[in-house]
Amino acid sequence: MTASNLKISCIIPTCDRPVLLERAIRTITSQTQAPYDIIVVNNGKDKTSLPAELNSKVKVIDIMPYAGVAQARNIGAIYAAGNFLAFLDDDCQWNREYLENVSRELSQGTECVLSGQYKFQDGKLVPWKIPTNRVKPEVLLVSNPGAGGPNIVIARDLFFRVRGYDPKLPPSEDKALVLEVLRLGVNVSVLPDNVVIDGTQDGKRLTNYLTLAEGVFQFTHKYGREMNWMQYFFNRWKMARYRFLGTGSRGQWLIKLFWGQLYRLARIWN
Return per-residue pLDDT of the chain as tens, 270 residues: 666 679 999 999 999 999 999 999 999 999 999 999 999 999 999 999 999 999 999 999 999 999 999 999 999 999 999 999 999 999 999 999 999 999 999 999 999 999 999 999 888 999 999 998 889 999 999 999 999 999 999 999 999 999 999 999 988 999 999 999 999 999 999 999 999 999 754 444 456 888 888 999 999 999 999 999 999 988 988 888 888 778 765 555 555 566 556 556 554 544
Pairwise CA distance, residues 127 & 116, whole Å:
8
Contact 170, 210 (CB under 8 A): no
pLDDT digits (tens, 9 = 90+) for 128-175: 999 988 899 999 999 999 999 999 999 999 999 999 999 999 889 999
In the chain, % helix, strand, coil (3-state, to 5) comes to 45, 20, 35
Is residue 116 a contact partner of residue 150, using CB atoms and an 8 Å limit?
no
CATH number of the structural domain 3-197: 3.90.550.10
Q: Where are the domains of the chain?
A: 3-197, 209-269
Closest CA to 69 of 49, 88, 95, 48: 88
Q: What is the pLDDT of residues 175-205, one digit of tens each?
A: 999 999 999 999 999 999 999 999 754 444 4
Residue 185 · residue 158 · CB < 8 Å? no
Q: How many Å apart are CA 253 and CA 258, to the nearest integer?
A: 9
Rounded to an integer, what distance in angstroms lies between the CA atom of residue 176 and that of residue 109?
23
